[in-house]
Structure 1
Amino acid sequence: MRPVRTAVLISVLAGSLLALPLQARAELPANPQVDYEGFVELAGRLGEYREGRRLGWQEFARRAQHDGAILLDARSESAFAAGHLDGAINLPLPDFTAERLAEVLGPDQGRPVYIYCNNNFADDRPPVVVKKVELALNIPTFINLVGYGYANVWELADVIRTDGPGVNWVSTAP
């Protein structure tokens, strides 16, 4: 085979191989129960709103103790049991459904909900190991709560220590 033909053949084969994943993706059926574009749109719409709902530790702690307020920890059950802010209730993010949220948070979707995650703690050791910043649990927790109709969500903005001033950290692990 001549060098030009070989180069053309290699180019055609490489182009065909690269196109396979695109063709395979185009043939996948749509899943009406997954809406990535809708999630991206919701997250984008909530960016500015979320910024206005972040509180420093002192204000966050004061408000979270008000009658009717909920202090929600959306980390795993094991991380919650190993340590959490005193007064927090646990509902892991993967367990969020409209029914489960109503069961745990109650029927009043206007009730204030205060959230925090691993990335609010400077300890960086179990049970609050710092996560990749753009994947911090506060972000999907906030988006999910508002998406499910709980718009009165407040997020801890500060980085504190579990043994810091005014922090009541408790463990329920054996």
Structure 2
Amino acid sequence: MRTIMLATVTAVVLGTFVAGTMLTGAEGDAQLANENPQIDYQGFMKQVQEVAKVREQRRVSEEGFIRMMDDPKTIVLDARSKRMYDLLHVKGAVHISLPDMTAEDLAELIPKKDTRVVIYCNNNFKNEPQAFAPKAPVASLNLNTYNTLYSYGYRNIYELKPLLDRHDTKIPFAGTSVENGK
């Protein structure tokens, strides 16, 4: 009797585990949604594919970046940490750290969703390891920043494309490093 009861409990537990982890399609999506409706990996993956089609056409040269940043209607956005931004950033760039991007914060910083926004990140500048420490290429901040802005309805997004030497670029900088003559 004890063996039969143990086998029944094991079958129920195993069946529940298998059913809970092996669901697919609408049933699996519903279960995943019930786990945390504020995290949508499938939606993220779909959006990444959508953004990929747009982003490649919106990557700009150093000269294009400078032209855009000189337009007073353009916002140059730095999404690195506040500490790195304070140390060194593109002159005139506004700051909002990627983890702090919410619909409310973005609406305050960029009220009109059709505003041209130009982004850059650590992986756009070399020979400045403290302020622009390179990230793994697949972890480049530009990728996440572009997708996040797109998630919140911003569509006029451009991205600095090349890897530039911090000391040779024509892009002007500001921050404590510049103030200290570095």
Give the TM-score of the pair, scaled to structure 1: 0.81
In the other structure, the counterpart of 2:152 is: 148
* 1:52 equivalent in alignment to 2:37: no
Q: Structure 1: 5+ residue runs without aligned partners?
A: 1-18
Which among 19, 35, 54 is matched to residue 30 of structure 1? 35
The DSSP-based 3-state class of the residue aligned with 2:119 is strand
| Runs of 4+ displaced beyond 6 Å | none
Q: Structure 1 residues 118 and 25 mapped into 2: Cα distance closer, same or farther (>3 Å)?
A: farther
Alpha-carbon offset, residue 23 of structure 1:
5.2
Q: Structure 2: 5+ residue runs without aligned partners?
A: 1-13, 22-30
Q: Structure 1 residues 24 and 75 mapped into 2: Cα distance closer, same or farther (>3 Å)?
A: farther
Which among 112, 123, 129 is matched to residue 125 of structure 1? 129
More helix by share: 2
* 1:67 equivalent in alignment to 2:53: no
* Mapping of residues 1-174 of structure 1, within 5 Å: 26=21, 30-105=35-110, 107-123=111-127, 125-172=129-176
Distance 2:167 2:93 in 1: 16
Q: CA RMSD in A?
A: 2.4
Alpha carbons 1:163, 1:169 under 8 Å: kept: no
Q: Percent identity?
A: 35
Matched letter for residue 118 of structure 2: Y
Count of residue pairs brought into register by the alignment: 155
Alpha carbons 2:128, 2:166 under 8 Å: kept: no
